[in-house]
Structure 1
Amino acid sequence: MTAALALPAANLALGVAGKVVDGIANALDPAKAKAKKQADDFETMFLEQMTQHMFTNMGAEGPLGENGTGGDVWRSQLTQQYAKQIQKSGGIGVSDQIMREMLSLQAQASKGA
């Protein structure tokens, strides 16, 4: 394995290991699992909005040959899938920040109650 491939492979392995540890922790704490799911869903929605803007000014020609109703539906589904895949592969960090904030707010609310 070349040095150029070793670093990405190591990063991928660390990312997978981190997701396994997160999965185990989430299984033990249902509140954390629910917060993580909501944060992930929010990040996916955010990414979908951002990817839609990338496709807004595409020309008249597209994979379907036009930008009519079929092209709009296809573009919507494509941006949705792009957003899901970006989020699944680690996202942009929005999800982690939101989850930490939600858990912090929950902890503050439980202390105050």
Structure 2
Amino acid sequence: MTAPMMLAGFAVSAAMGAVGKVADAVSERKDAAQDADRLREQADDFEKMFLEQMLERVFSAGGEEGIMAEAGPGAEVYRSMLSSEYAGLIARGGGIGLSDQVYAQLLKLQEG
């Protein structure tokens, strides 16, 4: 094998290594972006769950007055569904800021 061919082989190997490193870096960035998206989704879900629990307490404390005063069959199911729907609407409308705090903490924990 001649020297130019050996150099060309080394150059190709080096180029392939560099391409592999770039591909790995791009893949890591995509993974990091996907991880950040998953963390955001989890933080949003946590805020919705928190709001849902809070609203269920509010509705159950209403006693015999308010929008769910009728204590007929299935009232608990409807109260739960209403709490869930209201919590989703509040969370999608910007929430109470809990999601942002949870997201920031999750990012800190992930970074180490």
**TM-score, normalized by the shorter chain, greater than 0.5:** yes
Amino acid at match of 1:74: Y
Write the distance in 1 (CA, Å) between the matches of 2:110 and 2:85.
Answer: 31
Give the counterpart letter for 1:80 in structure 2.
S
**Percent identical residues:** 44
The unaligned stretches of length 5 or more in structure 2 are: 1-29
Q: Any conservation in 1 of the 2:59–2:68 contact (CA below 8 Å)?
A: no
Does structure 1 residue 106 correspond to structure 2 residue 110? yes
State whether structure 2 residue 87 is matched by structure 1 residue 83: yes
- Distance in 2, matches of 1:56 and 1:65, equals 9
Counterpart among 30, 43, 53 of residue 34 in structure 2: 30
Cα RMSD of the aligned pairs, angstroms, is 2.3
For residue 57 of structure 1, the aligned residue among 56, 61, 64 is: 61
* Structure with max Cα Rg: 2
For the pair 1:67 / 2:91, whether they are aligned, the reply is no
The C-alpha deviation readout for 1:37-87, integer Å capped at 9, x for no partner, is 000000000000111111113344776773133111111000000000000
Please, what TM-score do these two structures have when normalized by structure 1? 0.64
Aligned pair count reads: 82
Runs of 4+ in 1 over 2 A off after TM superposition: 57-66
One-letter code of the match for 1:39? Answer: A
Ranges in structure 1 where 5+ consecutive residues have no aligned partner: 1-25, 109-113
| TM-score normalised to structure 2 length | 0.64
